[in-house]
Amino acid sequence: MNQKAILCFLAALLGSISKSEGRIFCYFASWTVYRPGDGKFDVDNIDPFLCTQVSFAYVGVNSNGSLEVIDPHQANSNGLDGLNRFAALKKVNPDLQLFISIGGWNESPDKYSNILADPSLRQSFIDSAVAFLDQYQFDGIDLDWDYPSRNDASNDQDKANAILLLEDLQNTFKPKGYLISAAINGCPRFLSESYDIVQLNKFLDFINVIMFDYHGNFNNYVGHSSPLFNSSLDADSGSTDFNVAAGLEAWIQKGIDLSKVNMGLATFGRTFTLEDPFKADLYDPILDGGLPGPFTREVGVLGYNEICSYINFYTRYWDNEQQVPHLIVGDQWIGYDDIYSIVIKTQYGLQNNVGGFMVWSLDTDDFRGSCGTGQYPLINAAKYIIENGST
C-alpha cells in the first residue's frame, strides 16, 4: 500500500473531519549537515512545497544585542553557504515563508534576560534582526527562548520585558511586512509563570507550542515524550498535565488566539535503557537514556528515520490511553510517533481549531523514504489530513 493509500485508509478509519487550509511550520536544524551517511540533511534535502513555513535554526545573539551566526562554516558564503542556499528556496516556491530561529538549547538564557531588560540592547537586537531579514529576504524571525522568568534565566522580569521587545519588534516589522513567531512551552504548569498570553496574542503572528519532550532521560523513569492524552498511571506521579491535550486545553483556558497557534508535532522519539528489561511499563526505572542512533548520535534520542528500521522486526506496542506507540528492543524502550499517531494528533488539533502545526524537525522524518512509506511520511501524514480531512 503506497503512502497516499495508507493515509486515505487511516483518515477514513479514524472518522470524518473537515479539511483545513492550515499551516505547517517546519524547522531546519542546520547542524544536521554534519550527520553521517543517510542521516546527513542539508538545505538541498528540504522540499520547498512540503511546509508553508520553514525556519533556519539557529542563530544566537551577542552581548550587545546583535545577531550572531553560531556556525559560520555551515551558514556563510565562505563555507557551505547555508543561509544563501536556504534563501534560494523561495525561487522554487515563492509562496514559502522563510524564518530565522534565534536562540535554542545551547544559548545562555542570561544573555537573553540581559537584552530583554535593557532598552538599548532591545533596540540593537531589533536593528540587527531587520538588517538580517533585509539581507537574506527572509519573511520573519522565530524567537526560541522557551523559559522566560524561570530559574534558568537571570531576571524574574523576563515575562514583562519580553512583551516590551515584542511590541517594539512589531512596530518596526509591521510596516516592512515582516512576521514574528515564538516557540513556547506546552506544559500547563509553566504558562502563567512565563507568558503574558493576552500580549502574545497581540504581538505574535504565529505561536509555536512545543507539545513534546514531556518525558525523557532527564527523568529517572520510562515516559513517552509526546502522549496525546494522560495515562491512568500519571496521577501517582503528579504528571497528569504532561501531555498534548492538557497542554492545549490549558492554553485555550488562558485565552490563546487559536488561529495563531501551531500545535507541535515531533518526528523524533525519546528512548530509555531499562533497569530491568522485564519491567517496561510507564514509570518503571531506567539506567539512562537509550543508546545513540547512527544518525542523531545522542543518548536518549532517535529520529523516526532511525526508529522505522526497527518496526518490521519488533513488536509495536500501542498505548490506548495515551494514543501513541512504542517499541521494546531488548533493554531499549523507544517512544515515538508514527503515521497513525500523527494522523490522530492532527485530527485532534483541527477539531480544537488550531490554526496550524509546528514540526521539529525535517531531518528526523524519513526524508529519504528508506522505510518504504515514501519521503517525509510523518509530515506528509499531517499535511494530508490538513488538506483533505477524511476525503
What digits encode the pLDDT tens for the residues 259-307?
Answer: 999 999 999 999 999 999 999 999 999 999 999 999 999 999 999 999 9
Residue 128 cell numbers, joined: 540587527
Distance CA 198, CA 206 (A): 14
Please say if the pLDDT value at position 107 is more than 50: yes
Distance CA 34, CA 71 (A): 12
Determine contact, residues 237/277, Cβ cutoff 8 Å: no
Please say if the pLDDT value at position 154 is more than 60: no
Determine contact, residues 343/232, Cβ cutoff 8 Å: no
The percent of residues in the chain predicted with pLDDT above 70, rounded, is 92
Q: Residues 235-250, buried b or exposed e (16+ Cβ, 10 A)? A: eeeebbbbbbbbbbeb
Band (4; pLDDT cuts 50, 70, 90): low
Burial class (CB in 10 A: 0-12, 13-18, 19+), 391: exposed
Nearest to 90 by CA among 54, 60, 64: 54
Q: pLDDT, tens digit, for every residue of 171-197?
A: 999 999 999 999 999 999 888 888 999
Determine contact, residues 77/87, Cβ cutoff 8 Å: no
Distance CA 102, CA 27 (A): 12
Determine contact, residues 343/389, Cβ cutoff 8 Å: no
Please say if the pLDDT value at position 137 is more than 60: yes
- Cβ neighbour number for residue 263 with a 10 Å cutoff: 29
Instruction: State the chain's mean pLDDT as an integer.
Output: 93
Q: pLDDT, tens digit, for every residue of 360-384?
A: 999 999 999 999 999 999 999 999 9
Determine contact, residues 221/285, Cβ cutoff 8 Å: yes
Distance CA 160, CA 236 (A): 35
DSSP 117: H
HSE value, Cβ hemisphere, 13 Å, CA-based, for 211: 29
The answer, as to whether pTM is greater than 0.85, is: yes
Q: pLDDT, tens digit, for every residue of 309-360?
A: 999 899 999 999 999 999 999 999 999 999 999 999 999 999 999 999 999 9
Right CATH number for 3-266+337-388 from 3.50.50.60, 3.20.20.80, 1.20.120.790, 1.10.10.10? 3.20.20.80
Determine contact, residues 227/324, Cβ cutoff 8 Å: yes
Determine contact, residues 263/357, Cβ cutoff 8 Å: yes
The residue-averaged pLDDT of 148-157 equals: 68
Residue 241 cell numbers, joined: 498535565
Please say if the pLDDT value at position 148 is more than 90: no
Please say if the pLDDT value at position 390 is more than 60: no
